[in-house]
A and B are shown apart, each in its own frame.
Chain A
């Protein structure tokens, strides 16, 4: 049965009427118009639906909306701040790391989690971390390059931050 559920998404609180058993992905997409998270498989195998829940990458397709509670959800729409793209988003643009780009949201969200856990990954570590994200267009080499580029850019920013 539908309940009023409060969700903390991208720094805002949303109230939705939803069955707690409903998939978080479809609540985001169909009820909140946050369609950046994609349906790709419905079984946590492709990564297109990846969101951050309290900073950890999670497959929203197999996350029940009732299980999230007050945890903070970040979707692809929440990465851009005041018109400023996240360094991972910038890096994907600079590397041209997309073709049809249907996987791109999930790739970028997953990569931000990686860089938080490991700010200086090697190419092998990027590949390992992103193993659960499928790109059918075959853009993986550029995606790895984009994540490494973002890591370098974020490192630079952090150092500037220390200096200022």
Chain B
């Protein structure tokens, strides 16, 4: 028997994207217990402590231990406070970026605490108040934080029940907790949680464990709770990072180099400095202004005369693929050890056992996240204390960057992250926060900086460019006998095939690269699935098999088979097509999510116009926490993926971005949206995984395969049809 890679069984720790910018795990918890109660009033505090740390805090056995010391441990991952005023507040370092976790995490608390969801407040991503968190990325919130908050809430409920039992001299087992009250059914006595904690200063710690609690019994989780603060968004009341303001706030602007790698030779700001109310800052390569209004700041910036020395001969969007193939990363470079390289059986014997052998190369372009809210920050200094409100997926990471930049200790820097206008993996870094803080320090007033769209397109980072080379051998009966896969630069997530193939060689090749690159929603998984699932379609045609049948022949994983079956059934795979129309599919597994996407395209051969008519996505990520939020993520992810599949691409030359505007960089708009349908598979027997990323992976290969089905033209570069389908 061959040792087959059973991916879903053998990858317990979901791999963080290579480009997620790992922060060092510095667990901090600054509040003294007495300070905490002084700040928030009497009540019950329950905290979830990381497993390893627990031994240092307490001795003795038992699952639940009371911690009555004056200082709370530093290794807390989430906590919950029940106040005597009837409020419940949860604290988490995760942040809301449109993925709807403010709602889904509140559901977790409501479920286990038995408390009305409308009265739960969630404090998120405030480095002073919430426990350390590495960041909101990698689809990790649902599998980790949801579970932790459930456990914290369950512990709080048990503590409250115990308090009521003691007060009534009753058997705790017989008491019922519901709707924020505890009731003794035998005596009909009832008490509100708030009443129980009145005047108390109680702390309970629970160790972090990962028991699987039965999703089948959920009443709040698993239901389609609407976005809990939705009204604040439809009325315009919600204050995003870009909307924050303090008295006396100045507007900041930063002078950007004319191209990447340019160095400042000289700068003259006589005009800007003469403008009333304008603060000019020149510090090393940093040049910026702060002024009372947007217009004055813009005028001051324009008046600055600067000379730059530019770098020549930089790669272009046309030759970048050749560039990365010929520029391997230096050994011992910043990308570290390759974790994904994998060999199974013998490629040579697998290839010789095949009836057909095929090799192809696929590419993905640099693309921009371009969240509708650009990077924004409001910075305020009070003496040496720095407070920054900013849009980021890593408030603690940004705090670290601010500490390093301004040489400040941790207690001097506070970063707050108001629910923001999204990120898609594009807001892991703190450059805007640093710039606003630098300007504010010079101005001695609060400074707000909102990056322009052009800055966001140019000075943020991009989803990496990539080249994927695939070779395989297949027998006439459709059995794949050998599989070789190489990825250059774009990343190793989901690089391994989930098809059952006896002989494999898989390798990731870090390279040098010309543009600043970083995380992106399902970045490498999208590239690797595009190559794998396009190539599977090519192999199916090589052996003249239906692409669905061909996949199923080589696929044992039940969860993946289920999504392919569900998507193709709903889609009507194998049904009749209009002339000029084509069907295609693509799917896979990543970060605990299984996806299969079927697409129908219509191609006008005369004009070259390609329209995606219909997309059906089947998705399964374990027990569904909120089917309504999940549908939004699945459909939204596919629409976002459709942009990268069809037309999104950053054009660049000589260190300049050539299309840094929405007028020049095409993103999906209403007219591009096909008829969309999501099929949800709810596996209550499997722990919930995240759904922010995996849904994107199938759409690009599905569209590419559908274009081939319609026209016989095989496209192997993402974006597939930036200028329509050229067939001449």
The interface of chain A, by Cβ under 8 A from chain B, is: 18-19, 21-23, 26, 29-31, 33-43, 45-46, 48, 75-77, 79-80, 85, 89, 92-93, 96, 98-105, 108, 126-128, 130-131, 133-144
**Once the chains bind, are A30 and B245 in contact (CB under 8 Å)?**
yes
**Once the chains bind, are A98 and B372 in contact (CB under 8 Å)?**
no
CB distance from A72 to the nearest CB of B (A): 18
**Once the chains bind, are B372 and A142 in contact (CB under 8 Å)?**
no
Q: Which of B249, B371, B419, B671 contacts A136 (CB 8 A)?
A: B371
CB contacts under 8 Å to A, within B587-645, are 628-629, 632-633, 635-640
**Once the chains bind, are A93 and B636 in contact (CB under 8 Å)?**
no
Q: Which of A93, A105, A135 contacts B226 (CB 8 A)?
A: A93
Question: Of all chain B residues, which has the CB nearest A86?
Answer: B234
**Once the chains bind, are A101 and B233 in contact (CB under 8 Å)?**
yes
Q: Can you spell out 19 A-B residue pairs with CB atoms less than 8 angstroms apart? A: A19-B295, A22-B294, A34-B236, A35-B240, A38-B373, A38-B421, A40-B453, A43-B661, A46-B662, A75-B236, A99-B632, A100-B421, A102-B373, A103-B372, A127-B670, A130-B670, A134-B662, A136-B667, A138-B636
Cβ of B494 within 8 Å of any chain A Cβ, yes or no, is no
Specify which chain A residues have a CB less than 8 angstroms from the CB of B293 in the assembled complex.
Answer: 18-19, 22, 26, 30-31
**Once the chains bind, are A35 and B243 in contact (CB under 8 Å)?**
yes
**Once the chains bind, are A42 and B251 in contact (CB under 8 Å)?**
no
Question: Of all chain A residues, which has the CB nearest B639?
Answer: A138
Distance between Cα atoms of A72 and B161 in the complex (Å):
58
5 tightest Cβ-Cβ pairs between the two chains A and B:
A36-B236, A100-B98, A138-B639, A102-B421, A138-B636
**Once the chains bind, are B226 and A137 in contact (CB under 8 Å)?**
no
**Once the chains bind, are A137 and B236 in contact (CB under 8 Å)?**
no
Cβ of B97 within 8 Å of any chain A Cβ, yes or no, is yes
Known interface pairs A99-B100, A134-B372; A36-B227 also in contact (CB < 8 Å): no
CB distance from A47 to the nearest CB of B (A): 10
Q: Which of A21, A43, A126, A136 contacts B422 (CB 8 A)?
A: A136
Question: Of all chain B residues, which has the CB nearest A39?
Answer: B450
Specify which chain A residues have a CB less than 8 angstroms from the CB of B237 in the assembled complex.
Answer: 36, 77
**Once the chains bind, are A38 and B372 in contact (CB under 8 Å)?**
yes
Cβ of B39 within 8 Å of any chain A Cβ, yes or no, is no
B632-671 vs A, CB cutoff 8 Å, 1 = contact: the mask equals: 1101111110000000000000000000011100011111
CB distance from B125 to the nearest CB of A (A): 14
Specify which chain A residues have a CB less than 8 angstroms from the CB of B372 in the assembled complex.
Answer: 38, 40, 46, 48, 100, 102-103, 134-136
Cβ of B547 within 8 Å of any chain A Cβ, yes or no, is no
Question: Of all chain A residues, which has the CB nearest B238?
Answer: A101
**Once the chains bind, are B236 and A93 in contact (CB under 8 Å)?**
no
Question: Of all chain A residues, which has the CB nearest B234?
Answer: A89
Distance between Cα atoms of A62 and B648 in the complex (Å):
25
Distance between Cα atoms of A94 and B99 in the complex (Å):
18
**Once the chains bind, are A100 and B420 in contact (CB under 8 Å)?**
yes
Specify which chain A residues have a CB less than 8 angstroms from the CB of B661 in the assembled complex.
Answer: 41, 43, 45
CB distance from B412 to the nearest CB of A (A): 28
Specify which chain B residues have a CB less than 8 angstroms from the CB of A127 in the assembled complex.
Answer: 670-671, 673
Specify which chain A residues have a CB less than 8 angstroms from the CB of B373 in the assembled complex.
Answer: 38, 40, 100, 102
**Once the chains bind, are A93 and B671 in contact (CB under 8 Å)?**
no
Known interface pairs A30-B293, A137-B98; A37-B662 also in contact (CB < 8 Å): no
Specify which chain B residues have a CB less than 8 angstroms from the CB of A100 in the assembled complex.
Answer: 97-98, 371-373, 419-422
Known interface pairs A21-B295, A99-B99, A138-B639; A37-B236 also in contact (CB < 8 Å): yes
CB distance from B697 to the nearest CB of A (A): 15
Distance between Cα atoms of A133 and B671 in the complex (Å):
11
Specify which chain B residues have a CB less than 8 angstroms from the CB of A23 in the assembled complex.
Answer: 294-295
Q: Most chain-B Cβ atoms within 10 A of its Cβ — which of A26, A98, A99, A139?
A: A99
Specify which chain B residues have a CB less than 8 angstroms from the CB of A143 in the assembled complex.
Answer: 670
Distance between Cα atoms of A26 and B671 in the complex (Å):
30
Cβ of B230 within 8 Å of any chain A Cβ, yes or no, is yes
Q: Which of B236, B374, B453, B633 contacts A76 (CB 8 A)?
A: B236
Q: Could you list 8 further interchain pairs (A-B, Cβ under 8 angstroms) beyond the known A22-B294, A99-B636?
A: A35-B239, A77-B237, A79-B235, A96-B629, A100-B98, A101-B233, A108-B234, A128-B671
Question: Of all chain B residues, which has the CB nearest A19?
Answer: B295
Cβ of B263 within 8 Å of any chain A Cβ, yes or no, is no
**Once the chains bind, are B669 and A134 in contact (CB under 8 Å)?**
yes
Q: Most chain-A Cβ atoms within 10 A of its Cβ — which of B233, B243, B663?
A: B233
Distance between Cα atoms of A126 and B673 in the complex (Å):
12
Question: Of all chain A residues, which has the CB nearest B371?
Answer: A136
CB distance from B254 to the nearest CB of A (A): 15
Question: Of all chain A residues, which has the CB nearest B696?
Answer: A138
Specify which chain B residues have a CB less than 8 angstroms from the CB of A85 in the assembled complex.
Answer: 231, 234-235
**Once the chains bind, are B235 and A43 in contact (CB under 8 Å)?**
no
Question: Of all chain B residues, which has the CB nearest A26?
Answer: B294
Q: Which of A22, A128, A130, A138 contacts B640 (CB 8 A)?
A: A138
Cβ of B367 within 8 Å of any chain A Cβ, yes or no, is no
Known interface pairs A23-B295, A26-B294, A45-B662; A142-B632 also in contact (CB < 8 Å): yes
Question: Of all chain B residues, which has the CB nearest A98?
Answer: B233
Cβ of B268 within 8 Å of any chain A Cβ, yes or no, is no
**Once the chains bind, are B234 and A92 in contact (CB under 8 Å)?**
yes
CB distance from B529 to the nearest CB of A (A): 18
Question: Of all chain B residues, which has the CB nearest A100?
Answer: B98
Specify which chain A residues have a CB less than 8 angstroms from the CB of B420 in the assembled complex.
Answer: 100, 102
**Once the chains bind, are B243 and A137 in contact (CB under 8 Å)?**
no
Question: Of all chain A residues, which has the CB nearest B97?
Answer: A100
**Once the chains bind, are B453 and A43 in contact (CB under 8 Å)?**
yes
Distance between Cα atoms of A38 and B450 in the complex (Å):
11
Known interface pairs A22-B294, A43-B662, A45-B663; A131-B234 also in contact (CB < 8 Å): no
Q: Most chain-B Cβ atoms within 10 A of its Cβ — which of A19, A38, A41, A128?
A: A41
Question: Of all chain B residues, which has the CB nearest A78?
Answer: B236
Specify which chain B residues have a CB less than 8 angstroms from the CB of A35 in the assembled complex.
Answer: 236, 239-240, 242-243, 245
**Once the chains bind, are B663 and A43 in contact (CB under 8 Å)?**
yes
Specify which chain A residues have a CB less than 8 angstroms from the CB of B99 in the assembled complex.
Answer: 99
Question: Of all chain A residues, which has the CB nearest B296?
Answer: A19
**Once the chains bind, are A138 and B668 in contact (CB under 8 Å)?**
yes
Cβ of B424 within 8 Å of any chain A Cβ, yes or no, is yes
Distance between Cα atoms of A21 and B295 in the complex (Å):
8
Distance between Cα atoms of A34 and B239 in the complex (Å):
10
CB distance from B38 to the nearest CB of A (A): 32
Question: Of all chain B residues, which has the CB nearest A41?
Answer: B453
Distance between Cα atoms of A135 and B642 in the complex (Å):
13
Q: Which of A75, A76, A80, A101 contacts B98 (CB 8 A)?
A: A101
